[in-house]
Each structure stands twice: as structure tokens, then as C-alpha cells.
Structure 1
């Protein structure tokens, strides 16, 4: 069960969020042009879904080793040094992700303490900011997995081999 959750949680959230964005934006456009009205909450929920899609996409990209990075030095390095450069790069990214996670928690707590709400849905802004802490923690988990993979198995590939 945990393996399925680990494999499918992020893709399900990303695809669901994309579907919500598409449906709500489409419905709001139809409402505006066909009925000369607007769905007040549609834009806000679509923006919220878009933010969730982006943040969950970051941890998903880390999991599949597809996150953006500059690889000039790693590409030029001999295989033995490449492993250490990748470990260093992933460690730096891990520190950054820990900071993002921590600040996400702080921002979410501050928003909840202030009682701020989103204007159209009247949901707490913590719903919006909470995704930063959650996906920051997911990114930390994914980076720890990558560091373990590089350190233990010696796998110094920048991205997984594609099945052709």
C-alpha cells in the first residue's frame, strides 16, 4: 500500500489539479461569454489548484531525477568525481528544500494565526500556504532518497535511463 502511495500520490494530485484548472477556467469563460456573468470562486480555486500542481510537480521531478539543473561541471568530470559532485549538488538542494519546508511551516502558521481568508471562497489562506510545507517535506524525502542512491549504489546518472 505504501509503495502505491509513494508511486501515485504526486501524479494523482498533479493531474487532478490540472483537470480542476482546465474545467474551472473553461466554465468561467463559458459563463462570461454565454451568460454575461462570472463564477466568483472559479478563478480563485483554479489559482489554488495551479499552485498545488506546481509545488507537487517539483517533488515529482526530484523523484524522477528530472528537476532542472546546470550540469556543465558534472558532465566534464570523470566518473569518480561525478559521483561526489552529484552528492554535493543534492546536499545543497537538500539544505534549500529544508529551508523551504521550514519557511512554509512558518508562513502557514502565521497565516493561520492571523485568520486571513481567501476573498472568494473564504477559505483560510493556510490552505494555500500549507502546500509549501508539505511539498517541501516531500522534496526533502525525495532528495534523501537520491543522496542514498548515489552514496550507496554509486549511481551517478543525472536522469534515469529511458526504456525504448
Structure 2
């Protein structure tokens, strides 16, 4: 097994995709976009909440749109975050059975898990798109911001699709490499490196 660091990063600490060619470039671009979205989303949510609390307690009136803005940001952070977590191998996993398997068993199990999770993500992507169509047909809007409600849910199918693609690529990476990968750029941290010289 590889004794490299779990995340593939360059000397600056920037994410480096484990995919070759144009796929790797696209993966790195998506990773940077997700990182910016997550950072900006969390900062905006914190600022929005703090300003609203200060407004309530100092001026006796908070921001009338604060709750809706936080709702939008929570959806954005959640569904941009699932792809980010999949890319960096950070999803919660139950690994007691997985840990006792030999390397080939872990590789086979990781391929099965990645393919199954990818299928579930694409299934949820399909149904979330249907949900957005339903919301669009109803024509409801947010009371304070006057935005159509369907717009704030656009990130849901995008997040599921990106995550599904990431897990599918993880399965492919495990098919084509000798190491066990938790994602395209993260080598299994439970690898047995003691037998290496």
C-alpha cells in the first residue's frame, strides 16, 4: 500500500485530483468551486445571523429576511458539502467489518460501496429534480425575498449529481489501481504499511 499522505495535495496544500487529463482538471475546478461556495456560505450565514441578533437586541428589530437567507445558505452548504466530502473521503462510514478484511477484500467492498452509493445519489438526483419541477409548477415564492421557492432548491440535484459522479469515479479508481481508495484522491488510511520496506 502507499504510504503517501491520504489526501493528494500539492506543495501549497491545494487539492490535486487523482484523475488523469481533462477529468482531473475538471475535478480540481469543481473542488475549488465547492471550497469557495462552502467558505463563503458559512461566512455569510455567520454574518447574517450576527447582524440579525445585534439588530434585535440593540435596535429592537432584526432583519426581516434573515431566516430566508439562512435557509438558502443551509441548502447550498449542505448540497455543495456532500460532493466536497465525497471528493475528500470524509463521509461517515462504519468500518469495523471493513477494517478486518485483507487489502483485496477492502478493495472489493469499496467498489461495491462506491457503486451502490453512486446509484443512490443518482436516484435522489432524479427525484429531487422532480420535486423542483413540482415547486416550479406551484409558483410559490419566499415571502420576504420574493424569490421563487424552486430556485433555492436547484443545488439539491446538482449536489446529488456531483456526489454520484464522485462515487462512480471512486469505483473506477479502485478498479484501475493497486491501492484502495476512499475517493479518487484519498488512499485508504487503514492500509497496512508495516510490511513495506
Q: TM-score, normalised by structure 2?
A: 0.77
2: CA distance between counterparts of 1:113 and 1:12? 32
Deviation of 1:54 (Å) = 1.5
Is residue 7 from structure 1 mapped to residue 31 from structure 2 by the alignment? yes
Is residue 94 from structure 1 mapped to residue 118 from structure 2 by the alignment? yes
Equivalent of 1:79, from 98, 103, 108?
A: 103
Does the CA-based 8 Å contact 2:75-2:156 persist in structure 1?
no
Does the CA-based 8 Å contact 2:140-2:149 persist in structure 1?
yes
2: CA distance between counterparts of 1:10 and 1:60? 6
Aligned length: 162
Deviations 1:1-23 (CA, angstroms, capped at 9, x unpaired): 74652230110110111011001
Deviation of 1:117 (Å) = 1.2
Deviations 1:91-141 (CA, angstroms, capped at 9, x unpaired): 111111011111110111110111111222121111222111110111112
Q: Calculate the aligned-residue CA RMSD, in Å.
A: 1.7
Matched ranges for 1:44-83 at <5 A: 44-83=68-107
Does the CA-based 8 Å contact 2:170-2:182 persist in structure 1?
no
- Residue ranges of structure 2 left out of the alignment (5+ in a row): 1-24, 190-197
Between the two structures, name the one with larger relative contact order (CA 8 Å, sep ≥ 6).
2
- Residue ranges of structure 1 left out of the alignment (5+ in a row): none
1: CA distance between counterparts of 2:79 and 2:155? 7
Name the structure 2 match of 1:148. Answer: 172
Does the CA-based 8 Å contact 1:21-1:47 persist in structure 2?
no
Deviations 1:16-66 (CA, angstroms, capped at 9, x unpaired): 110110011011011101111121111210121022111111110000111
Is residue 19 from structure 1 mapped to residue 43 from structure 2 by the alignment? yes
Does the CA-based 8 Å contact 1:13-1:53 persist in structure 2?
yes
Bigger helix share: 1
1: CA distance between counterparts of 2:54 and 2:112? 51
| CA pair 155-127 structure 1, distance change in 2 beyond 3 A | farther
Name the structure 1 match of 2:131. Answer: 107
1: CA distance between counterparts of 2:91 and 2:47? 28
Name the structure 1 match of 2:143. Answer: 119
SS in 1 for 2:93: coil
Is residue 134 from structure 1 mapped to residue 185 from structure 2 by the alignment? no
